[in-house]
Amino acid sequence: MSPIRIDVYSVFPEYLEGALSASLLGKARTHGVLDVRIHDPRDWSTDAHRSVDDAPFGGGAGMVMTPEPLFAAVEATEPVRPLFVLSPSGQRFDQALATSLADGPGFSLICGRYEGVDQRVADHLCDGELSIGDYVLAGGEAAALVVVEAVARLVPGVVGNDESPEHESFSGAARLLEEPQYTRPAEFRGWSAPEVLRSGDHARIDRWRRAQALRRTLDRRPDLLSEDALTSEDQDLLDEFPPQ
Ligand code: JCQ
């Protein structure tokens, strides 16, 4: 089985290399199931100062990443596509996109720094722009790590992903929030773990867990589940396990 390949373009390669060598992702790379390649656009800059940015046309504060080193880096390294630039203006990255990227041979990411990236990079070099959320980072590197980790953990053979029940397009984080989890001790500082989880009645435990997931989703993320979309079985579960 050939590894999923991810090419990342960043002027802070050492920051990405450090994060991608630790823990789950580092093991996946060592074990040959994840092939992450980091490229520094500065290596394709043609001036003495290795510049990758310039003042914005039209004036204004800050600097903009110039297209030449990014185009040269991508054309020299032939990244696996789709190739995305990370940007707060992009299409929102979500679990459904993570699943579809994990199903393919790989993808690639360009990390912007400074005030942004010359728009011709998104328009004529990339296949799209990706956002991880509505906030502004100092650069795309932290966002790239989010995307790489969300996809890599779905790839068969990545450490801790032996069964991958999430690896179906309609399951995973997007449909229902997870139920709360408990472990020992059964009582901690006067707070008890739910009795049902220690009852040994696995059918009742399954019903309790689904009721918790349903109630949490209705309370916290009504955008994911509308009250009137509940089946009568789900309504019955909520009635069987009313809130304390
Ligand atoms: C990604 N949510 C936030 C910041 C400009 C390409 O132009 C820019 C890129 C960045 C880095 O990405 C983010 C981001 N998803 O800030 C400013």
For position 172, what pLDDT does the model report?
43
Range(s) of the chain covered by CATH 3.40.1280.10: 4-152
Task: Report the CATH number of the 4-152 domain.
Answer: 3.40.1280.10
Which mutation among 137, 141, 148 tests ligand 1's pocket best, with the greatest number of atoms within 8 A of CB? 137
pLDDT one digit per residue (tens) for the chain, 244 residues: 899 999 999 999 999 999 999 999 999 999 999 999 999 999 999 999 999 999 999 999 999 999 999 999 999 999 999 999 999 999 999 999 999 999 999 999 999 988 899 999 999 999 999 999 999 999 999 999 999 999 999 999 997 776 554 644 344 444 899 999 999 999 999 999 999 999 999 999 999 999 999 999 999 999 999 988 999 999 999 999 999 8
Cβ 95 vs Cβ 154: under 8 Å = no
How high is the pLDDT of residue 90? 98
> What amino acid is encoded at 5 in this protein?
R
- At residue 73, φ and ψ (nearest 5 deg) are -65, -45
DSSP assigned state of 180? P
Confidence (pLDDT) at 64:
97
Q: Whole-prediction pTM value? A: 0.94
Give the residue, out of 83, 85, 87, with the most ligand 1 atoms within 8 A of its beta carbon, to mutate for a pocket test.
87
Q: What is the pLDDT of residue 126?
A: 98
Query: Tens digit of pLDDT for each residue in 188-219?
Result: 999 999 999 999 999 999 999 999 999 999 99
Q: What is the pLDDT of residue 113?
A: 86
CA 230 to ligand 1 center in whole angstroms: 37
Q: Whose CA is nearest to atom 5 of ligand 1?
A: 116
CB contact set of 166 (below 8 Å; sequence gap of 6+) = 99, 154, 172
Compute the distance between CA of residue 134 and CA of residue 93 in angstroms, rounded to an integer: 11
Joined together, the tokens standing for residue 149 give: 């980790």
Query: At which residue do the structure tokens 């309370």 appear?
Result: 219
Q: What is the bridge-based pairing of β-strands 128-131 and 83-92?
A: parallel
- CATH of the structural domain 168-240, one choice from 1.10.472.50, 1.10.1270.20, 3.90.1010.10, 3.40.640.10: 1.10.1270.20
Ligand 1: distance of its center to the CA of 19 in Å?
A: 19
pLDDT number for residue 164: 55
Helix (H, G, I), strand (E, B) or coil at 142: helix
Q: What pLDDT does residue 173 have?
A: 43
